Structure 1
Amino acid sequence: MYIIFLLASDSDLALWYADHFGRRLTEFNGKVVWITGASSGIGEFLAVELAKHGAKLALTARSVLNLERVKGRCIESGLRADEVLILPADVTVVAKHDELLARVITHFGKLDILVNNAGRSQRAVWENIQMDVDAELFGLNVFSIVSLSRLAVKYFLKVGKGHLVVTSSLAGVIGAPFSGTYTASKHALHTKNT
């Protein structure tokens, strides 16, 4: 029955349920959302969609030029310039995380949602991967997320509310060929409550 459902719905059961019975994007109106990896791909798309529904945005990535472009798209989607804060940064530099969070809170007065979206992939034969590649990938895909999430959770506990979002991958559930380090980094993000 589940396989038939998957084929008919083009999604898994949880996604289908959320689409039909979950919260609407209008609930993001006025929320402050900080998105890392916001200069392209999923982060850019999410920023533009949230902008259409009135979310105030803090956008982080390394490329100032691409962040400016995304900010322009968010303004075209209905936000004012002061409702989009650009925070250019390399999220692997964890020593800067406190400062980045402080800038979001100073600018908007609060943070409601942290979207840990920054990350990258890797493809190679596992035994040929250099250790510095492993370390860089884990620094971005795992340790930057752990660091930012800890800071955000401390803030959320202080104010009494908030949400964390982590963009992962199916590779975190089922290994992907020729992506050993990437798969391991995504597996590190998946936990099961027992």
Structure 2
Amino acid sequence: MDVCDEDKSNDDVQELSFGGKFLNLFSELERCGEIVQKQKIEEMNEIIDGMNKVEWKSVFKTELFDEIHTMVKEKKMSMENAILLLKHAGYCKALKNVWNPCFDSSSLNKRFEKMIVKEEKKEKEEKKEKLIIDLCECYISLSYDFPHESLSICMPCLLKVALNKEENKETQKEAEIALLALASLGFNV
């Protein structure tokens, strides 16, 4: 019996180390240039892979999403780097089946909603397809409460990505992320 308890406490220490490592790297992001920042985010994404549900929820709180929003707003992080982190976080959230509505109350959620609607209203020539796809994937995979306008833009966008049958690895991964985001709608609506 004591052996099991020891193993459990070692698991708890391991869990805490994932969150600590992630938050330490996150705290360094605003002092880095874009290239180094991207490398740190890739490290953070690897750490996210190792997190369980409890660890994921302990890290991805409203305050973290608000801090990402502030960093993007103050140009301390590019939107591209924020999306790199958030897309992977949402993907892992869906894979791990984590219930965590913290994103919904964040300022980043509101920013994404506005950006999705604004991008969709642009003329076809001006639209940034990759940006709207990335925003929709992040938004849907991290949210639980969807305004009709955002949902009516994201659903067709994600379905289009999911139906893309190109054979390259990156496109396959994008289709998988889009399908996971769509699958999470059933639990969230």
Fold similarity call, TM over 0.5 = no
Higher helix share: 2
